[in-house]
Amino acid sequence: DGGITQSPKYLFRKEGQNVTLSCEQNLNHDAMYWYRQDPGQGLRLIYYSQIVNDFQKGDIAEGYSVSREKKESFPLTVTSAQKNPTAFYLCASSTTGTGAAAFFGQGTRLTVV
């Protein structure tokens, strides 16, 4: 099946620990994105990447880091510097053509205790 896979679906971590969320796509899309969603809120962009080995900060990048070593993969690390890491994290991908639509994974719900 073609699509975007995020793993795990649920993740628990202790406060102060870094944690990496996985995102893999087999859609041959150049662009990938990470969003964060808090209860009752819309999505906010954390980081995005237009091409391998390149990425840019979104609106709320502080406390997060990413890498894009392969076209298919765009892992997100939530570091201990992120003050409120508990949230629903969503990965998406798209082509970079005119009017391209982004397609989302099913999300990872991170709970930090």
Q: Which residues bind other proteins (CB under 8 A)?
A: 4, 6, 31, 33, 35, 40-45, 48-50, 58, 88, 90, 92, 94, 96, 98-107, 109
Q: From the CB of 65, what's the least distance to other proteins, in Å?
A: 18
Q: From the CB of 4, what's the least distance to other proteins, in Å?
A: 8
Q: From the CB of 77, what's the least distance to other proteins, in Å?
A: 20
Tell which phi-psi region holds residue 28, choosing left (phi > 0), alpha (psi between -120 and 50) or beta. Answer: left
Number of alpha carbons in the 13 Å side-chain half-sphere of residue 85? 26
